[in-house]
Chain A
Amino acid sequence: MIGRPIDIPIRAENGDEPVSHGNALPLLHEVRHALERLLAAGEETVIDLRSIPMGPGDEARLEAELGTGEVSARLETAIGPSVALETRFPGVWLITHYNSEEQILSRFIEVTEVPAILRSQPEDVREGLDSLSEQLLQQTNE
């Protein structure tokens, strides 16, 4: 039987704009205060995004509001990659740690001039120095 489609009251969600549950804005206010503290006293702030109750759409909204800035750095560590991204607001960084299967392990907003994880670390520098010396030694021996 050919009939007209049954009238089921289903309404598709509008996919263009994520529904936000209002958790992004208060966080942005927090970031603004943190930026003020950074300028006034050099005080750095780290916010763990896992500790914030995010609804569907909240995180997308937050990312959209923060945007992207001049720096985007990808780290390849032995326990998976990490991405440090300076947002449109200088001094506000979004740090995302992934495991080796590219699943998010943890996510932070860091308000700082440069995230600590980007700096070369003394332990690694020492190891690097050792291996450079080794390399040079081998070449002199050749």
Chain B
Amino acid sequence: MSYDKTLGEALRRQGVSRRGFMKFCATTASLMALPPSMVPAIAAALEQARRPSVIWLSFQECTGCTESLTRSHSPTVEGLILGQISLDYHHTLQAAADSAAEHAREEAMKENYGKYLLIVDGSIPVGNPGYSTIAGISNKDMLLETAKGAAAIVSVGTCAAYGGIPKANPNPTGAVAVSDLIKDKPIINVPGCPPIPVVITGVLAHYLTFGTIPELDDAGRPKVFYGETIHDRCYRRPFYDKGLFAESFDDEGARKGWCLFKLGCKAPVTYNACATTKWNAGTSFPIQSGHGCIGCSEPNFWDLGGFYKALSVPNDPVTLVAGAAAAAGVAAGAAMAMRNRKAKADAKSKHQTVTIDDLEK
């Protein structure tokens, strides 16, 4: 696809009608977790969007993030977005290797200097650079060089965003996150081990649609996807509010689908979209299949003291508010999610009394 054709033109050329385009826009809005009222604005922007150049660098990682993206469930829409974005360089996916591949990267950098989007997965070993090199170039050198001409950087996965599993104690390679090395570029963190595929594409779609980076939280994550804890959106939440907990993985409570808090669910301190976006074409997510969240999108999740150890603080202010409302006879569930949002706004500072520090006690 050439650089000068807009997405609207490209789609029409592929035989996509205006109706098909409307469907594409509605789905993209949903993908970006934006309200349906935004669809006309998205349509107008996507119509005019042009193909940006993307360079993807993989450092110390397990390829799970690339797997997650390429296995994503909606080949048409995401295929169109990716076809539109088109990777100029992805050394895991491309056939060329070594110097030929490096040549492609240098070409892409030169042609689109200052304009390309740099996507990184994996952490960067700075203790001993020999732990991970590409065509003889250390990860750190390649990152610093490629970042120079980037318009923005997307750190895909917990490793690139926060160091992830390579950085877990005792961190043998001296692994660090992209943001530890790059200070002068906008960086979007898309953590998760791996991140939810539609969240990756949602972030890319946002960039493609608006040409800007989405609003980020303190940890550099887009608020649309990471704005709320999984706990705040969990369908098991009414059980939590009533104090009904599974005590083991095979007891009566577990069979009845009660809350997994006591079995170590880390969702009360984990910001991610799993409870609504879910996994595998929206089929399910860990809590729905009976296992607590392990907090994979949080910094240092691997060293938080055990996946099956319950969080040390059993109640948070949001629960108290939600519990009181439930007692007053307000219906639970979807309404609850909205109530929590309000309660959280009211009690935001108090809510943050349940922190990662509590986990480390």
Indicate, yes or no, whether A interacts with B: yes
Q: Is the CB of B30 within 8 A of A121?
A: no
A5 proximal to B (CB < 8 A): no
Interface members, chain B 68-88 (any A CB < 8 Å): 73-77, 80
Complex Cα–Cα for A105 and B73 (A):
8
Q: Is the CB of B235 within 8 A of A108?
A: no
Q: Which residues of A contact B (CB under 8 A)?
A: 11, 19, 21-27, 29-30, 46-48, 50-56, 58, 75, 77-80, 82, 97, 99-101, 103-106, 108, 116-117, 121-124
Contacts of A78 in B (CB 8 A): 14-17, 20
Q: Is the CB of B20 within 8 A of A55?
A: no
Contacts of A105 in B (CB 8 A): 23, 27, 74, 76-77
Q: Is the CB of A97 within 8 A of B23?
A: yes
Closest chain B residue to A103 by CB distance? Answer: B281
Measured CB to CB, the closest approach of chain A to B278, in angstroms, equals 9
Q: Decide: A52 near B76, CB < 8 A? Known: A21-B333, A117-B22.
A: no
B103 proximal to A (CB < 8 A): no
- 7 A-B interface contacts by CB (under 8 A): A22-B332, A52-B334, A54-B235, A78-B20, A79-B20, A99-B73, A106-B26
Q: Is the CB of B18 within 8 A of A99?
A: no
Q: Is the CB of B75 within 8 A of A100?
A: yes
B275 proximal to A (CB < 8 A): yes
Contacts of B129 in A (CB 8 A): none
Q: Decide: A48 near B36, CB < 8 A? Known: A21-B333, A75-B19, A121-B17.
A: yes
Contacts of A23 in B (CB 8 A): 235, 333-334
Q: Decide: A77 near B234, CB < 8 A? Known: A48-B36, A53-B334, A55-B288.
A: no
Q: Which 4 A-B pairs have the closest CB atoms?
A: A55-B235, A121-B18, A23-B333, A77-B20
Q: Decide: A50 near B20, CB < 8 A? Known: A55-B236, A78-B15, A79-B76.
A: no
Measured CB to CB, the closest approach of chain B to A126, in angstroms, equals 10
Interface members, chain B 11-65 (any A CB < 8 Å): 14-20, 22-24, 26-27, 29-31, 33, 35-37, 39
Q: 4 new A-B pairs (CB below 8 Å) besides A25-B331, A105-B76?
A: A22-B238, A24-B333, A78-B16, A101-B75
Complex Cα–Cα for A58 and B257 (A):
13
Q: Is the CB of A21 within 8 A of B19?
A: no
Complex Cα–Cα for A110 and B53 (A):
37
Measured CB to CB, the closest approach of chain B to A32, in angstroms, equals 13
Complex Cα–Cα for A67 and B37 (A):
26
| B17, B233, B333, B334 interface centre (most CB from chain A within 10 Å) | B334
Q: Is the CB of A77 within 8 A of B23?
A: yes
Contact of A77 among B19, B35, B235, B284 (CB under 8 A): B19
Q: Is the CB of B22 within 8 A of A121?
A: yes
Closest chain B residue to A116 by CB distance? Answer: B22
Q: Is the CB of B236 within 8 A of A51?
A: no
Measured CB to CB, the closest approach of chain A to B332, in angstroms, equals 5
Contacts of B39 in A (CB 8 A): 46
Complex Cα–Cα for A58 and B255 (A):
17
Contact string against A for B residues 88-108, beta-carbon threshold 8 Å, 1 for contact and 0 otherwise: 000000000000000000000
Measured CB to CB, the closest approach of chain B to A66, in angstroms, equals 14
B282 proximal to A (CB < 8 A): yes
Measured CB to CB, the closest approach of chain A to B265, in angstroms, equals 15
Q: Decide: A53 near B276, CB < 8 A? Known: A25-B331, A78-B16.
A: yes
Q: Is the CB of B288 within 8 A of A53?
A: no
Complex Cα–Cα for A26 and B334 (A):
6
Contacts of B76 in A (CB 8 A): 79-80, 99-100, 105
Contacts of A25 in B (CB 8 A): 331, 333
Q: Is the CB of B276 within 8 A of A52?
A: yes
B335 proximal to A (CB < 8 A): yes
Closest chain A residue to B16 by CB distance? Answer: A78
Contact string against A for B residues 255-267, beta-carbon threshold 8 Å, 1 for contact and 0 otherwise: 1010000000000
Measured CB to CB, the closest approach of chain A to B256, in angstroms, equals 9
Contact string against A for B residues 276-310, beta-carbon threshold 8 Å, 1 for contact and 0 otherwise: 11000110100010000000000000000000000
| A19, A22, A117 interface centre (most CB from chain B within 10 Å) | A22
Closest chain A residue to B280 by CB distance? Answer: A103
